[in-house]
Chain A
């Protein structure tokens, strides 16, 4: 795909500052590191939900953030899947998927195996089901960049690998790059991801 994501920011996280320079045109970029390293906050910076970061964020030819610019989240064309999914609790699974959909939801529901859940409410779903619906909601919105925060944490190992492969297929077919955060590097294997490690010193490419 070769759409270049460039992230050069310094981010105050409590007492310490995370400074990093990440530039990549990989199809899938994995951010790994221990919990509390600031991985989720970095995703929020890319999403435009975090204003504490100072620096430069660009995607393709577009500057999303620099000293003079801040493109708000709703204008970035992203699909952000936070930890635990955060499904809209007052909407059915169908309405969650359709919430910002730019294409029919049925094929996505089929691919993620949630077709049988369409009439259920989020409160009646298991953790893994919630994560699948949250992924589906982001895919249906037709994003240009997927931001996934521990998207498979509530799933057991075999299902993880299958779902990861499905999402990877979808992303390749739609030419959508993925930035994926996880504390478990094994999640990245199905994606053939470029791996960056978030540590105290910053972010370094490790694979």
Chain B
């Protein structure tokens, strides 16, 4: 079977990084709204954001395929712009982004909720308007937690399988990420030595991501003086 282990690792990295990068601003905006906002439809927004967490990823993939397929207005428009989604690397990024979005938003929401509102209130009372208060107080204090969200979204994107298989396929050198390469090798007869490399790479990346997440979470706690003075 034609299957390049390093291409799979590289593609997983690209997909994870792209999903984390593209998702950063929307996840921060939605996480902020859920943490601090008081508006009608907050519960609906929360449910919508969480949906991919509880939907089978294969179903999410199918819905994405319907949304981004050439027959749909969205898919047709992207295709006309030269950005076709189905069975492309972009499709893998979209799958990783959507499936990882709940965990991204929830981590950032938690990071913002952890910032004591009295810091914001002091800033407002000193005459600093809400926008500048968010920029100078809330954002810097939540920053390590937001970075932890980036790490989790990246790690979740690295390993995305179900939705990716449906919308991006399993094409060597184009959409075959680590998870899809492992799946392809399981189909082949006998134990392929490349399997061990991919499993090892997965474990190493997952471990690194967890260590990074923990370190960032501790940094946030120190920053907010939640740990002993």
A residues in contact (CB < 8 Å) with B = 47-49, 72-80, 82, 86, 88-90, 99-100, 122-123, 137-138, 141, 147
When distances are taken between beta carbons in the complex, the residues of chain B under 8 Å from A99 are 123, 126, 128, 136
Q: Which residues in chain B, 116-139, are within 8 Å of chain A measured between CB atoms?
A: 116, 118-119, 121-130, 133, 136-137
Do the beta carbons of B127 and A77 come within 8 Å of each other?
yes
CB-based nearest B residue for A147: B125
Please tell me which one of the listed residues A76, A89, A123, A141 contacts residue B141 in the complex, with CB atoms under 8 A apart: A89
Q: How far is the CA of A100 from the CA of B123 in the complex (A)?
A: 8
**Residue from B124, B129, B223 having most chain A Cβ neighbours under 10 A:** B124
A82: shortest Cβ distance to chain B, in Å? 6
Do the beta carbons of A73 and B124 come within 8 Å of each other?
yes
Do the beta carbons of B125 and A79 come within 8 Å of each other?
yes
When distances are taken between beta carbons in the complex, the residues of chain A under 8 Å from B124 are 48-49, 72-74
When distances are taken between beta carbons in the complex, the residues of chain B under 8 Å from A88 are 119, 122-123, 137, 141
When distances are taken between beta carbons in the complex, the residues of chain A under 8 Å from B116 are 86
Do the beta carbons of A90 and B223 come within 8 Å of each other?
yes
When distances are taken between beta carbons in the complex, the residues of chain B under 8 Å from A82 are 118, 121-122
A95: shortest Cβ distance to chain B, in Å? 10
Do the beta carbons of B125 and A78 come within 8 Å of each other?
yes
A48: shortest Cβ distance to chain B, in Å? 8
When distances are taken between beta carbons in the complex, the residues of chain A under 8 Å from B63 are none
CB-based nearest A residue for B141: A90
When distances are taken between beta carbons in the complex, the residues of chain A under 8 Å from B122 are 80, 82, 86, 88, 137
When distances are taken between beta carbons in the complex, the residues of chain A under 8 Å from B140 are 90
Q: How far is the CA of A90 from the CA of B116 in the complex (A)?
A: 13
Q: How far is the CA of A123 from the CA of B128 in the complex (A)?
A: 23
* Contact of A86 with B118 at beta-carbon distance under 8 Å, contacts A122-B225, A123-B229 already known: yes
| B224 close to A (CB within 8 Å) | yes
When distances are taken between beta carbons in the complex, the residues of chain A under 8 Å from B119 are 86, 88-89
B188: shortest Cβ distance to chain A, in Å? 53
Do the beta carbons of B126 and A137 come within 8 Å of each other?
yes
Q: What are the 5 A-B residue pairs with the smallest beta carbon separation, nearest first?
A: A100-B126, A80-B125, A73-B124, A141-B126, A74-B124
CB-based nearest B residue for A134: B122
When distances are taken between beta carbons in the complex, the residues of chain B under 8 Å from A122 are 225
Contact with A along B134-178 (1 / 0, CB 8 A): 001100110000000000000000000000000000000000000
Q: How far is the CA of A90 from the CA of B141 in the complex (A)?
A: 7
Would you mind naming 10 contact pairs between A and B with Cβ atoms under 8 Å apart?
A: A49-B125, A73-B124, A74-B124, A78-B125, A82-B118, A99-B136, A100-B127, A100-B128, A122-B225, A141-B126
When distances are taken between beta carbons in the complex, the residues of chain A under 8 Å from B127 are 74-75, 77, 100, 141
Q: How far is the CA of A171 from the CA of B164 in the complex (A)?
A: 66
* Contact of A73 with B125 at beta-carbon distance under 8 Å, contacts A86-B118, A88-B119, A89-B141 already known: yes
When distances are taken between beta carbons in the complex, the residues of chain A under 8 Å from B123 are 88, 99-100
Q: How far is the CA of A27 from the CA of B137 in the complex (A)?
A: 32
CB-based nearest A residue for B122: A86
Contact with A along B189-205 (1 / 0, CB 8 A): 00000000000000000
Q: How far is the CA of A86 from the CA of B223 in the complex (A)?
A: 13
B125: shortest Cβ distance to chain A, in Å? 4
Do the beta carbons of A138 and B126 come within 8 Å of each other?
yes
When distances are taken between beta carbons in the complex, the residues of chain B under 8 Å from A138 are 126
Given A77-B127, A137-B126, A147-B125, list of 10 further CB < 8 A pairs?
A49-B124, A74-B127, A74-B130, A78-B125, A86-B116, A88-B122, A88-B123, A89-B141, A100-B126, A141-B126
